[in-house]
Amino acid sequence: GEMGVEGIQGVDGKQGEKGEQGSKGEKGDLGPAGVTGPSGPKGVAGSKGGRGAPGKKGSRGAKGARGDTAKLLRSAFSAGLSKPFPPPNVPIRFDKILYNDQEDYNPSTGKFNCSVPGAYVFAYHLTVRGRPARVSLVARSRKVAKARETLYGQEIDQASFLTILKLSAGDQVWLEVARDWNGVYVSAEDDSIFTGFLLYPD
């Protein structure tokens, strides 16, 4: 026959048992930042870093105090002959002073008197005319160097010599010519000069 009229809704049933745990859901969104925690303890010192680039040049410092200056020891002379053909076997008196500020050379005797011990340079430049010239450099009364120039007639030449001597205070040095070998000459146009100076003191 025909379907009957819909029946009345029944009473709610009892709560069913707890179902099984479902599968893990997806990761949720990041929450807001929390409050800053307290500072942690000081860490261990790190290794020494590499050397940095040089800094800029500093400003110039103040001028220092003046230092003590050692006294400079000096001794030097240069003298020329005023008359030709000086006497032999005695010191030649070079009496035309070119330089003698310390007065260690005596033009009256022709002798250099050492006041500062040390090494000295001695030199001469002599004009020789007409006859030979045999010249000796004398130090401490001993002929330490000898030279000669042989000329005859009206010839004119020059004789030069240079040496280094070690002297003590009080030592004397001079030039002299030998007998019969005395052509050492000087004129208005020709000089004969004896020179000496301290190279370095002891």
CATH of the domain at 183: 2.60.120.40
Domain residues for the domain of 173 are 80-201
Structural domain contains residue 194: yes
Who wins on pLDDT, 20 or 178?
Answer: 178
| Nearest alpha-carbon partner for 84 in 182, 181, 195, 189 | 182
Residues 197 and 75: beta-carbon distance below 8 Å: yes
- pLDDT category of residue 201 using cuts at 50, 70 and 90: very high
Structural domain contains residue 103: yes
Listed range (5-19, 31-45, 106-120) with the worst mean pLDDT:
5-19
Say whether pLDDT at 162 is over 90: yes
- Contacts by 197-200 with C-beta closer than 8 Å and gap 24+? 197/75, 197/76, 197/77, 197/120, 197/121, 198/73, 198/74, 198/75, 198/76, 198/116, 198/118, 198/119, 198/120, 199/118, 199/119, 199/120, 199/121, 199/164, 200/118, 200/119
| Nearest alpha-carbon partner for 77 in 192, 195, 187 | 195
Structural domain contains residue 50: no
Listed range (22-26, 70-74, 103-107, 117-121) with the worst mean pLDDT:
22-26
Say whether pLDDT at 70 is over 70: no
Both structure tokens of 187: 């004129």
Q: What is the pTM of this model?
A: 0.65
Q: What is the pLDDT of residue 67?
A: 56
| Nearest alpha-carbon partner for 159 in 173, 170, 171, 146 | 146
Structural domain contains residue 150: yes
Who wins on pLDDT, 36 or 133?
Answer: 133
Number of folded domains that form the chain: 1
Structural domain contains residue 58: no
Structural domain contains residue 33: no
| Nearest alpha-carbon partner for 109 in 100, 118, 121 | 100
Structural domain contains residue 62: no
Q: What is the pLDDT of residue 97?
A: 98
Structural domain contains residue 6: no
Q: What is the pLDDT of residue 157?
A: 92
